[in-house]
Structure 1
Amino acid sequence: MTTTYESGSAVPGGYYLNLSEWAVTPVEKDGERLPAGKGQWRPIPTVAALALVPILGATFLMFLPVIGFALFFHAIIAKVGSFFHASATDLAATMSPGWQPGEAHFTGKSPENAGTEEKGPIADEKLDALEKEIAEKRREN
């Protein structure tokens, strides 16, 4: 089982590999600390460090132009995509019905009569009868 160390840990002298950052770092004396950053550090033999450093450097040099082109095309695609997104948003705003905060849409009334309550003759008769009944009971007491 390979021993792993966290970033910033005090470690014995030697070479350490961080796979998440693709970095090899030397530690000269026992008790020195590893560099800060993400990932875990694994001790590797000196021969492995001497073989890995040129390979990691060459890999970086090969992928650096690829990364540059990928970022360039990503930026262009993002600009074109934002153009179409803005157009679609403007079109949707003109096609959707207007909405006003606080407006009730499920009242069962047509918009012309919204906010006004209709009273028919039956409602008036019931209210008049109830009013008379209350007045009679007040007189009795």
Structure 2
Amino acid sequence: MDPRISLVTLGVADLEISVRFYRDGLGWPTGYKAGDGVAFFKTWGTVMALYPISNMAEEVPDGSFRPQAGPCGIVLAHNCRERQQVDELLRMAEQAGAKLRKPASDTFWGGYSGYFSDPDGYMWEVAWGAFPIGEDGHLLLP
């Protein structure tokens, strides 16, 4: 198996609200139209999808999927090219309806980061300084 994550799907309580947050509030590109059952967002890395959480259990009908949006032991991250972008993006997210969970501050690993949660409670870290970012937007790991 190639080491690749192609798509991340977030189960959301209200698809329209979540689409507005990511598309209108954060400016993420999508071809979503009202009435579509799922929204796909093209990023510089993995594709992100929003899907009604009430429908997610139908995808895995053996009962092992327990639909619950929000903080679940996973943190999504957006790494910035410049330190000041962290504060700018946290403000943008807050203005779009996110809840600021931790204001940006210097980190133990020598970077700078802060956290917000989206309308469904999914946690996002906005960070600078951990890894350089390539021309294509991907993190450059050592």
Q: Same fold (TM over 0.5)?
A: no
Q: Select the structure with the greater relative contact order (CA < 8 A; seq sep ≥ 6).
A: 2
TM range (shorter): under 0.3
> TM-score, normalised to structure 1's length?
0.18
Query: Which has the larger strand fraction?
Result: 2
